[in-house]
Amino acid sequence: MAIILKENVPTIVQGITGHQGSFHAEQMKIFGTNIVGGVTPGKGGTTVKGVPVFNSVSEAIRNTGARASVVFVPAPFAFDSVVEAIDSGLELVTVITEHIPFHDMVKLKLYAKIRGARIIGPNCPGITSVGIAKHGIMPNSIFREGSVGVVSRSGTLTYEIVNTITEAGLGETTVIGIGGDQVVGTNMQEAVSMFEDDERTKAIVVVGEIGGTAEEETAELIKRKVTKPVVAFIAGRSAPPGKRMGHAGAIITGGKGTAQSKVEAFKSAGVAVASSPSEIPKLLKERLKL
């Protein structure tokens, strides 16, 4: 089983004719994703790496039966592209695009909820259900089918941690990069709850970073509702105080959002907190009694 991204979902790539869109569409196909089309206005009737291109999402759906989209559209046009995807009835929209304005994302998140769609991202590496499909830019080579669910606010750190889990022989069910912006379509608590309900997932890895309160809120959820072993890692422990670091979400206010606050919250919820990514497999094995 897997969370969110299920088997054989017909998927389109918005912005497929751009360099990133075309490259990652091919990589997703190689991974096993059912890429059925792409969308770039004005480029309809062409193909990219054997994938037909359409002028609009609705045209792509009529011709392919698509139910999901991966968005590589540049930030100035991303809002309209996501609205188009939701208006057309797509169930899952994974937004890789970065630099989407905060207020635009607030509107998109509410609109998706009203229309019954799920957004992953923005500013994220996407989602991979191992052995099934991937939507986004995670490297194909780092995964192995297993029993660990991973949710992460960090992009490239996700790859390092997944690779350590794979090399330890544990493997993953679903890996979801939710993005590091202040407002994201699918948050950390939602992902952890879905992993708790997923039969195949036996343990959960949470990768957080300084800024925001997502980790503290997730720790409260774990304390109340999660029965599976959870291992966490918090990036940014060495960040200088008083500095804004990296993502728009990396803002520390009112004593919350610090690495110390997040570590303490997780420990109080019974979560094992790794001091480095390389320690995660050891902690997982201890809690899974392997």
**CATH code of 115's domain:** 3.40.50.720
Q: Are residues 180 and 73 in the same domain?
A: no
In a domain, 174, yes or no: yes
What integer pLDDT is reported at residue 248 of this predicted model?
A: 45
Verify that 244 and 282 share a domain, yes or no.
yes
| pLDDT reported for residue 239 | 52
Look at residues 120, 152, 186 and tell me which one is the last residue of a structural domain.
120
Average pLDDT estimate for 126-151: 98
194 & 243 share domain: yes
Look at residue 41 and tell me if it is in a domain.
yes
Into how many domains does the chain fold? 2
What distance in Å separates the CA atoms of residue 33 and residue 56, rounded to the nearest whole number? 21
Q: Which of 99, 103, 135, 247 is catalytic?
A: 247
Q: Would you say residue 55 lies in a domain?
A: yes
- Are 187 and 179 within 8 A, CB to CB? no
Domain co-membership, 63 together with 104 = yes
Domain range holding 232? 139-288
27 vs 249, more confident:
27
Q: How many CA atoms lie within 13 A of 160 on its CB side?
A: 12
pLDDT at 242: 53
Give the CATH number of the domain where residue 220 resides.
3.40.50.261
Residue 103 falls in the annotated catalytic set? no
Give the domain-ending residue among 88, 120, 152: 120
Prediction pTM value: 0.93
